[in-house]
């Protein structure tokens, strides 16, 4: 880690820049300034960025910031990729578990076309997987095995 001086936008010192809304001005506050064209940006929603040209030079101020070294950035990148890989693997394992449970349910002779269940759901001694299973997405359904309602008081 290292300390570096960077230029940021200080909304408290800006009396000139014309923002679309008061909220946009404060969303830009303390963000890094692109010094090539004196702009500050923020993400509104995914893939949509709002950029303003800072017209008040007094609003561009020096700020002491922390920055990771190249080695730290590389390690962070490796760890983030590893997390992504594990998340993808978890999705595959969960899908395999669901398919396995559906094959178990199919052996009971029940119509499993619209089965709805969760590994975090209610415990059910009569169910082959130990959890309640329901037909359809409705909350007023009863478990196929124990006949208890999905919504319990």
Reported as a single tens digit per residue, the pLDDT across 50-107 is 899 999 999 999 999 999 999 999 999 999 999 999 999 999 999 998 889 888 888 8
Q: How far is Cα 98 from Cα 104, in angstroms, rounded to an integer?
A: 10
Q: What are the structural domain ranges in the chain? A: 2-70, 103-153
Within the chain, where are the H helices? Answer: 22-28, 70-106
DSSP one-letter code for 19: -
What stretches of the chain adopt beta strand conformation (E)? 2-9, 39-45, 48-53, 60-67, 115-117, 133-135
Contact 102, 128 (CB under 8 A): no
Which pLDDT value is given to residue 78? 97
Condensed to tens digits (0 to 9), the pLDDT of residues 72-82 reads: 999 999 999 99
Q: What is the pTM of this model?
A: 0.55
């Amino acid at each position: 880690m290292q300390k570096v001086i960077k230029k940021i936008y200080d909304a408290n010192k800006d009396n000139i820049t014309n923002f679309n809304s008061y909220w946009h001005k404060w969303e830009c506050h303390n963000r890094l300034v692109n010094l090539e064209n004196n702009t500050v940006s923020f993400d509104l929603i995914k893939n949509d960025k709002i950029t303003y040209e800072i017209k008040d030079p007094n609003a561009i101020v020096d700020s002491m910031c922390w920055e990771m070294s190249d080695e730290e950035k590389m390690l962070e990148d490796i760890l983030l990729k590893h997390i992504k890989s594990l998340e993808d693997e978890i999705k595959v394992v969960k899908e395999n578990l669901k398919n396995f449970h559906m094959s178990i349910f199919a052996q009971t002779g029940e119509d499993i076309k619209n089965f709805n269940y969760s590994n975090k759901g209610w415990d059910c001694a009569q169910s082959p997987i130990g959890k309640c299973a329901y037909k359809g997405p409705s909350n007023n359904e009863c478990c196929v095995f124990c006949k208890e309602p999905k919504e319990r008081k």
